[in-house]
Structure 1
Amino acid sequence: MVSISEDGSCPPERECTFQGSLCGLLPLPSANFSWSRITGSSQPENSSGPSADHTLGTEQGYYLSAQLWNHPVGSRGAMMTAVMEPTPPHGECLMFWYYMEGSGVGELNVYLQANDINRGRVHLWSKSGDQGMHWRHGRVTLLSPETPYQVIFEAVVGDGPQRDISIDDLTVLNGACPPPGFCDFEMDFCGWVNNPPAESGVDWDWLSSESKGEFIPRRDHSTDTSLGHFAFFIPSNKKETARLESETMDVVDKACLEFWHYTQGWLVNRPSYITLTVLVNETTGLRSVWNTSGYMNDTWIQDRVDYSSSGPHQIILQASCPSSNDGSFALDDVHIIRDKSCHDIILTTTPNPTTTITAAPASPMDCSFDQGLCSWIQEDNDDLNWTVSSGLQVNEPWDGPQYDHSIGNDQGLFLVLNGSGSKNRERATISVPVISHTSHICVGFWYFMLGPSVSTLDLLVQTKSSELLVWTRQGTKNPEWMNAQVTISMNNTIQIMFTGHRNTNSKGFIAIDDITVREGVCSIQNVCGFDSSLCDFENDVSHLGRWVHKKGTKHHVDHTYGTENGFYMAVMMSNSTQTEVAQLLTPEIHSTTEMCVRFW
Structure 2
Amino acid sequence: MSEKRRNVAPNKSTSPSSALSACGCSFEDGLCVWVQGAEDELDWLSRTGPTETPNTGPTGDHSTSRGKYLYIESSAPTVKGDKAQLKSLLLPPAGGKGYCFTFWYHMFGATVGSLKMLLQTADPLKRTLVWQKSGNQGDEWRLARSHVTLQEVHQVILEATVGGEAGDIAMMTSPSSVDHVLPLEGSCDWQQQSDDDSDWVRETGSTHNPHTGPDSDHTTNTPTGHYYFLSSTDDLQGQTAKMSSPLYPAGKWVCVQLWYHMYGRGVGMLNVYQQSEEGKEALIFSQSGDQGRLWRFAQASLLPRVQPYRIVVEGVKSGPTQEGDLAFDDVHLTDAQCPPPGHCDFEINMCSWSNLGGDVDQEDWLRGRGASTNPSTGPSVDHTTNSTHGYYLYVDNSVGEWGDNSFLISEVFQPATRGHCLTFWYHMYGSHIGTLRVYTNDRTMHSGGNEEGMLKWIETGNKRDRWKEASVTVKHHEAFWFVFVYQRGMNPGGDVALDDISVRPGGCYSEPPISPPDDDNDMMSAGLAVGLTLLAGVIISIFLVVLNKNRRV
**TM-score normalised to the size of structure 2?**
0.53
Structure 1: how far apart are the matches of 2:251 and 2:461? Answer: 44
Shift of 1:158: 3.2
Task: Give the aligned partner of residue 272 of structure 2.
Answer: 110
Shift of 1:145: 2.8
Structure 1: how far apart are the matches of 2:514 and 2:210? Answer: 52
Contact between 2:255 and 2:299, CA under 8 Å: does it hold in 1? Answer: yes
1:98 corresponds to which of 254, 260, 264:
260
Shift of 1:71: 5.9
Distance 1:399-1:77 versus aligned 2 partners, 3 A rule: closer
Structure 2: how far apart are the matches of 1:46 and 1:156? Answer: 21
1:35 corresponds to which of 185, 200, 204:
200
Please give the residue correspondences for 1:159-198 in structure 2 after superposition, counting only pairs within 5 Å.
Answer: 159=319, 160-195=321-356
Task: Give the aligned partner of residue 278 of structure 1.
Answer: 438
Task: Give the aligned partner of residue 455 of structure 2.
Answer: 288
Shift of 1:274: 1.4
2:467 corresponds to which of 270, 278, 300:
300
Task: Give the aligned partner of residue 146 of structure 1.
Answer: 306
Distance 1:225-1:68 versus aligned 2 partners, 3 A rule: farther
Q: Which structure has the larger Rg over C-alpha atoms?
A: 1
Larger relative CO (CA 8 A, sep 6+): 1 or 2? 2
Alpha-carbon deviations, 1:208-240, whole Å to 9, x = none?
238996356444334555565433224522322
Task: Give the aligned partner of residue 314 of structure 1.
Answer: 481
Alpha-carbon deviations, 1:226-272, whole Å to 9, x = none?
5654332245223222332323322232432111112343x4xxxx5
Q: Aligned AA for 2:346?
A: F
Q: Is residue 246 from structure 1 mapped to residue 410 from structure 2 by the alignment?
A: yes
Q: Is residue 24 from structure 1 mapped to residue 161 from structure 2 by the alignment?
A: no
Structure 1: how far apart are the matches of 2:324 and 2:284? Answer: 23
Structure 2: how far apart are the matches of 1:421 and 1:123? Answer: 59
Structure 2 unaligned blocks of 5 or more: 1-144, 147-182, 446-452, 539-553
Shift of 1:99: 0.7
Please give the residue correspondences for 1:513-524 in structure 2 after superposition, counting only pairs within 5 Å.
Answer: none
Contact between 1:196 and 1:241, CA under 8 Å: does it hold in 2? Answer: no
Task: Give the aligned partner of residue 329 of structure 1.
Answer: 496
Q: Aligned AA for 1:121?
A: E
Structure 1: how far apart are the matches of 2:312 and 2:273? Answer: 5
Distance 1:172-1:227 versus aligned 2 partners, 3 A rule: farther
Task: Give the aligned partner of residue 79 of structure 1.
Answer: 243
1:63 corresponds to which of 222, 227, 232:
227
SS at match of 1:280: strand
Structure 1: how far apart are the matches of 2:371 and 2:529? Answer: 41
Q: Is residue 125 from structure 1 mapped to residue 285 from structure 2 by the alignment?
A: yes
**TM-score normalised to the size of structure 1?**
0.49
Distance 1:211-1:151 versus aligned 2 partners, 3 A rule: farther
- Percentage of identical aligned residues: 25
Task: Give the aligned partner of residue 258 of structure 1.
Answer: 423
Task: Give the aligned partner of residue 591 of structure 1.
Answer: none
Q: Is residue 202 from structure 1 mapped to residue 362 from structure 2 by the alignment?
A: yes
SS at match of 2:475: strand
Distance 1:40-1:230 versus aligned 2 partners, 3 A rule: farther
Distance 1:231-1:86 versus aligned 2 partners, 3 A rule: same
Distance 1:56-1:206 versus aligned 2 partners, 3 A rule: farther
Q: Aligned AA for 1:99?
A: H
Q: Is residue 157 from structure 1 mapped to residue 311 from structure 2 by the alignment?
A: no
2:213 corresponds to which of 37, 46, 49:
49
Please give the residue correspondences for 1:266-415 in structure 2 after superposition, counting only pairs within 5 Å.
Answer: 267=431, 273-281=433-441, 286-293=453-460, 295-321=462-488, 323-342=490-509, 395-396=517-518, 398=520, 400=522
Structure 2: how far apart are the matches of 1:282 and 1:105? Answer: 15
Distance 1:182-1:421 versus aligned 2 partners, 3 A rule: closer
SS at match of 1:248: coil
Alpha-carbon deviations, 1:162-185, whole Å to 9, x = none?
432111121222354233222233
Shift of 1:284: 7.4
Q: Aligned AA for 1:106?
A: G
Contact between 2:259 and 2:297, CA under 8 Å: does it hold in 1? Answer: yes
Structure 2: how far apart are the matches of 1:105 and 1:391? Answer: 37
Distance 1:81-1:208 versus aligned 2 partners, 3 A rule: same
Structure 1 unaligned blocks of 5 or more: 1-15, 345-389, 404-413, 427-600
Contact between 1:189 and 1:206, CA under 8 Å: does it hold in 2? Answer: no
Q: Aligned AA for 2:343?
A: F
Contact between 1:19 and 1:61, CA under 8 Å: does it hold in 2? Answer: no
Higher fraction of helix: 2
SS at match of 1:60: coil
Task: Give the aligned partner of residue 374 of structure 1.
Answer: none
Distance 1:422-1:156 versus aligned 2 partners, 3 A rule: closer
Alpha-carbon deviations, 1:451-504, whole Å to 9, x = none?
xxxxxxxxxxxxxxxxxxxxxxxxxxxxxxxxxxxxxxxxxxxxxxxxxxxxxx
Q: How many residues align?
A: 343
Task: Give the aligned partner of residue 135 of structure 1.
Answer: 295
Q: Aligned AA for 1:181?
A: G
Task: Give the aligned partner of residue 4 of structure 1.
Answer: none
- Aligned alpha-carbon RMSD (Å): 4.0
Contact between 1:398 and 1:418, CA under 8 Å: does it hold in 2? Answer: no
